Amino acid sequence: MPEVILTGAAGRLEGRYSPGKRENAPIALVLHPHPKAGGQMNNPVAIHMHRLFVERGFATLRFNFRGVGKSQGEFDSGIGELADAATALDWLQAENPAATQTWVAGYQFGSYIGMQLLMRRPETDGFITVSPPSNIYDFSFLAPCPASGLFLHGSNDTVVPPIEVERVVNKLRSQKGIVIDYEVVEGATHFWQDHLDDVERHIAAYLDKRLEAEPA
C-alpha cells in the first residue's frame, strides 16, 4: 500500500493509505498504541484492523503519531496526538469527499485518542476500540457518546483490568440511541500475544454485522 506524507501541526506525518475501490467508499482511520511504549502504525493489532477495513471496501489510513518513525515532532501527552488524528481524518475525508460512512479504530493509547476524536467529529458512524486504557486516562468525556461501536478487551489484561472497561461500557449503555458491543476474549492479555486471530475474528464479525444492517 502506498506511503503518504501528511502535513500536521508539528510537521510531516508518515502514513499508509489503502484507497477504496469505488468513489463513494466508506473511510476508516486506524490509530496505534502508545508512542512511549513502542507503539507505531505497524503494530500487529493496527495492521489487522487496517486490513479488515480494506477487505470490506473501506478507504483506510493508518499513520504514525508525531515523533514516531518518519513523523516529525515530539510526544505531546495526547494533546498533539489528538491534533494529528484530526489532521489525518481531514486528509482522509478530503481524499474521499463522497464517502458513505466514517469509522475510527484504535488500539490502547490509540483508542483513547480515537474516542476523543469521535466526540469532536459527529459525522462518525462507528468505532472499534481495543484494550482502551480506561484506568490510565479519564474516559468521562464520552458524555454522550455520539456513535455505536465495539469495545474489545482481554480477560487476562493486567495493565487494564476488564472491570475498568466495564465501568465505561455500562455508563455508555445507559444512553439511548446508541448500541455498545463489549466482547472479552478469554485468555487474552493487553498485548494480544497468541490472540491476534481472536482480534480478527471479533472485529470482522462486528463490522459484517454493522455493514449488513447499515450498508456502506
Average pLDDT over residues 124-136: 97
Average pLDDT, the chain: 97
Name the band, by pLDDT with cuts 50, 70 and 90, for residue 143: confident
125 touches 147 (CB < 8 A): yes
**Which domains does the chain carry?**
3-213 (3.40.50.1820)
Whether omega before 144 lies within 30 degrees of 0, making that bond cis, reads yes
Helix (H) or strand (E) holding 16: strand 11-18
**Percent of all residues in the chain with a pLDDT value above 90, rounded to a whole number:** 95
* Cα–Cα distance for residue pair 28/20, rounded to 1 Å: 10
Helix (H) or strand (E) holding 161: none
Reduce the DSSP state of residue 29 to 3 states and report it: strand
26 touches 57 (CB < 8 A): yes
Name the band, by pLDDT with cuts 50, 70 and 90, for residue 1: confident
Structure confidence at residue 183 (pLDDT)? 98
**Percent of all residues in the chain with a pLDDT value above 70, rounded to a whole number:** 100
Structure confidence at residue 29 (pLDDT)? 98
Structure confidence at residue 82 (pLDDT)? 98
Sign of CA dihedral 78, 76, 89, 14: negative
Q: pLDDT digit string (tens) for 14-29? A: 999 999 999 999 999 9
Average pLDDT over residues 61-80: 98
145 touches 169 (CB < 8 A): no
Structure confidence at residue 94 (pLDDT)? 98
In DSSP terms, 127 is beta-bridged to: 104, 149
Q: pLDDT digit string (tens) for 71-126? A: 999 999 999 999 999 999 999 999 999 999 999 999 999 999 999 999 999 999 99
Flag whether pLDDT at 178 surpasses 90.
Answer: yes
